[in-house]
Structure 1
Amino acid sequence: MYDILVYLFENYYTPQACPRADVLASKLAAVGFEHDDIHDALAWLRTLASTTEHCLPLAITPTTQPRASRIYTDHEYAALGTEAIGFISFLEHTDNLPPALREILIETAQAADHSPLSLAEIKVLALMVLWSQEAEIDHLVFEELLADDEGRPSH
């Protein structure tokens, strides 16, 4: 699934450039991705779209409000793991992940097929959340998101 998400990022400049799900599935299969991985990636993208729609009112909030601390539940810690939560905090504190996108990332990361997530996996998901919103990303943070620390996850 993660290889497919990276493939989408590398091959489609914006989310709007992606074809419809059925056409995309055919294109991904033609490139050589496995059916199960395609299914998982498209399901995750649907979750991302749904979560984004529900969190959209948060994105309208002015960014001049003071930063609030995010308290993670035991369930979120179990699903995400401390490494992923640490990376989310890093993105947030470097002003690359506004609160609305943080919540979208947390929700969609919990939809992953296993837990806890590795650092490489949370980086891919964060990249996709930022890409889906066409968010501006600091160059150094962008390089960190693309860094292949542990080898690209293949789930």
Structure 2
Amino acid sequence: MNENVVDILIYLYENYMDGEHAPPTDQHELRDELIQAGFPSTEISKAFDWLDELAENAQDQQHDTRQSHSLRIFTEEETTRLDVDSRGLLMFLEQNEILTLAARELVIDRALALDTAVIAEEELKWIILLVLMNQPGQEAAFARMEDMVYNEAPVFLH
């Protein structure tokens, strides 16, 4: 089985975080459910750690909604791990004010925290969705991103 942390995060989002069902209050119960769903225990632990770090980092972020006209230069590791489409998506979302500068940096941090050699655009969309979900005051951006994740057709923003 080739399940990874992103697959677990997608499973958790689709089953619990979209507001339809409340997650189990006991982490062990949730872990058992994930194991029964076929996810490896080591990947489940990594997913829980990833979510904990997201929550911590989201609280530490300054919620600066100002946009800058500066250009973000990606490091060598970032260009190696984030493919061209992923970097383009980040720029697109920033230019269309879906991602603030702080949210963009949190997305990059959370993407690089995964044990994945290359983070593809589809995986990055889910990471962005989870980051925006944890950003107070970003409900409109979250809704626009959720549309992008679930709609196969490209979303043109005006």
Asked if Structure 1 and Structure 2 have the same fold, meaning a TM-score greater than 0.5 normalized by the shorter chain, the answer is yes
**Structure-1 residue corresponding to 2:30:** 24
Quick one: higher RCO (CA 8 Å, sep 6+), 1 or 2? 1
Contact 1:105–1:129 under 8 Å retained in 2: yes
**Structure-2 residue corresponding to 1:45:** 51
- Corresponding residue SS for 2:103: helix
Contact 1:92–1:99 under 8 Å retained in 2: yes
Distance 1:146 1:109, change over 3 A: same
TM-score, normalization: structure 1?
Answer: 0.75
In the alignment, the residues of structure 1 paired with residue 144 and residue 59 of structure 2 have an alpha-carbon distance, to the nearest angstrom, of: 29
- Corresponding residue SS for 1:12: helix
One-letter amino acid matched to 1:145: V
Tell me how large the CA RMSD over aligned residues is: 2.7
Q: What is the number of equivalent residue pairs in this alignment? A: 144
Structure 2 gaps, min length 5: 154-158
Contact 2:132–2:142 under 8 Å retained in 1: no
Contact 1:120–1:148 under 8 Å retained in 2: no
How far the C-alpha of 1:65 sits from its partner, in A, is 5.3
**Structure-2 residue corresponding to 1:8:** 12
**Structure-1 residue corresponding to 2:156:** none
In the alignment, the residues of structure 2 paired with residue 4 and residue 148 of structure 1 have an alpha-carbon distance, to the nearest angstrom, of: 21
- Corresponding residue SS for 2:119: coil
How far the C-alpha of 1:102 sits from its partner, in A, is 0.7
One-letter amino acid matched to 1:45: L
Runs of 4 or more consecutive aligned structure 1 residues displaced over 4 Å after TM superposition: none
**Structure-2 residue corresponding to 1:126:** 128
Write out aligned runs for 1:104-143 (5 A): 104-133=106-135, 135-136=138-139, 137=141, 139=143, 141-143=145-147
One-letter amino acid matched to 2:46: D
Matched-pair identity in %: 31
One-letter amino acid matched to 1:51: N
TM-score, normalization: structure 2?
Answer: 0.74
In the alignment, the residues of structure 2 paired with residue 21 and residue 52 of structure 1 have an alpha-carbon distance, to the nearest angstrom, of: 21
